[in-house]
Amino acid sequence: MIERPGLPPVFLFMAPKPLDPLVEMRHLSFGYGERMILDDISLSVPRGKVTALMGASGGGKTTVLRLIGGQVQAQQGQMLFDGQDLTPMNQSELYAARRRMGMLFQFGALFADLDVFENVAFPLREHTHLPEALIRDVVLMKLNAVGLRGARDLMPSDLSGGMARRVALARAIALDPELVMYDEPFAGLDPISLGTSARLIRELNDAMGLTSIFVSHDLEQTFAIADQVIILANGKVACQGTPDEVRHNTDPLVHQYVHALPDGPVHFHYPGPTVEEDFGAEVTP
């Protein structure tokens, strides 16, 4: 509002600023040995949103998570977290950045010799000096958020696959991170557990003000909960947009992936000699 003596005040309405990205890759390249996995890619993950990474197996989705977590370093370009490049960070700086992240591994990766309570308490004991009474309250709150407060005394061997994944999620959010990463959280789950996991990702993201990145091959659940979808292919970003934009993208490779077509840019037959070369005669299909 601008006040003017003797005149009515003037109200100025400004358009909201677009959300700045919490995670950003700028012209990043990475490979294992001579095999290039990500080739000069640029992508951004908006703060407070749910972003899905999709694409054919071996396309670099899990590698993106490893780069964000600092497990591997970019060979070229920048890997930014909250505006800071992770690549040149020393160990203490990287650990400080990781404390602001949570990670749910593909099959939970719970500590087999610790019960559910102690699995969730582990990051609190490792990274804080909270009194035991407060640790107890935090652990039970996190377990309650994933519906497993009553399972606190069970061992990982007593849990179903879906329950183990939810305990791992409670552990991932124990330190109230800004970013939570999920590596194929729907893999191997029955329909009920899958739907529960998808709903938890969406609801926890919104309730806790998180930014979430998850790798998935499940088109239905992914498109139902994601704010944006990034499809990786051939070391590049093939498509980035809302689920609806990705669903209607006309790129041949994206179209093949989204509609689960058996043949297209990704061929059904692995490259090799022709049938005539192998069998020595013309073969009628």
pLDDT digits (tens, 9 = 90+) for 23-62: 999 999 998 888 888 999 999 999 999 999 988 777 788 8
Percent of the chain clearing pLDDT 70 (strictly above): 88
pLDDT, residue 145, reads 87
Angle at 232 between CA 229 and CA 234, to 5 degrees: 165
In-domain check, residue 210: yes
Q: How confident is residue 109, by pLDDT bands cut at 50, 70 and 90?
A: confident
Encode burial over 103-137: b for 16+ CB neighbours within 10 A, e otherwise. Answer: bbbbebebeeeebbbbbbbbbbeeeeeeeeeebee
pLDDT in tens, 76-103: 999 999 989 998 888 889 888 888 988 8
CATH number assigned to the domain comprising residue 172: 3.40.50.300
- How far apart (Å, rounded) are the C-alpha atoms in residues 109 and 91? 23
In-domain check, residue 144: yes
Tell me the HSE value of 46 on the side-chain side, using a 13 A CA sphere.
15
DSSP state, residue 144: H
pLDDT in tens, 190-201: 788 888 888 888
Question: Distance of CA 179 to CAs 103, 105, 143, Å?
Answer: 9, 14, 19
Report the domain count for the chain.
1
Residue 88: how many CB atoms within 10 A of its CB?
Answer: 10
In-domain check, residue 3: no
The boundaries of the domain holding residue 129 are 43-71+89-260
Rounding to the nearest 10 degrees, give the CA dihedral for residues 58, 180, 103, 150.
Answer: -130
- pLDDT at 282 exceeding the cut of 70: no
In-domain check, residue 276: no
In-domain check, residue 83: no
- How far apart (Å, rounded) are the C-alpha atoms in residues 212 and 228? 11
What is the average pLDDT across 16-20? 56
In-domain check, residue 21: no
Mean pLDDT score of the chain, rounded to an integer?
84
Beta bridge partners of 83: none
Residue 176: how many CB atoms within 10 A of its CB?
Answer: 12
pLDDT, residue 58, reads 76
Rounding to the nearest 10 degrees, give the CA dihedral for residues 131, 136, 142, 145.
Answer: -140
- pLDDT at 210 exceeding the cut of 80: yes
Angle (deg, nearest 10), helices 116-127 and 132-145: 130
Helix (H, G, I), strand (E, B) or coil at 195: helix
What is the average pLDDT across 167-171? 90
Q: How confident is residue 14, by pLDDT bands cut at 50, 70 and 90?
A: very low
What is the average pLDDT across 187-192? 80
Q: Which residue has the tokens 């071996």?
A: 58
pLDDT, residue 16, reads 42
Q: Are 143 and 120 in contact (CB under 8 A)?
A: yes
pTM (global) more than 0.75:
yes
Q: Are 204 and 197 in contact (CB under 8 A)?
A: no
pLDDT in tens, 250-274: 888 888 888 777 777 766 666 777 7
pLDDT, residue 95, reads 87
Q: Are 216 and 224 in contact (CB under 8 A)?
A: no
DSSP state, residue 230: E
Q: Which residues have a Cβ under 8 Å from the Cβ of 266 and sit 6 or more positions away?
A: 56, 253, 256, 257
The distance in angstroms from the start CA to the end CA of the chain is 76
Beta bridge partners of 53: 215, 230
Percent of the chain clearing pLDDT 90 (strictly above): 31
- pLDDT at 158 exceeding the cut of 50: yes
In-domain check, residue 67: yes
In-domain check, residue 14: no
pLDDT, residue 6, reads 56
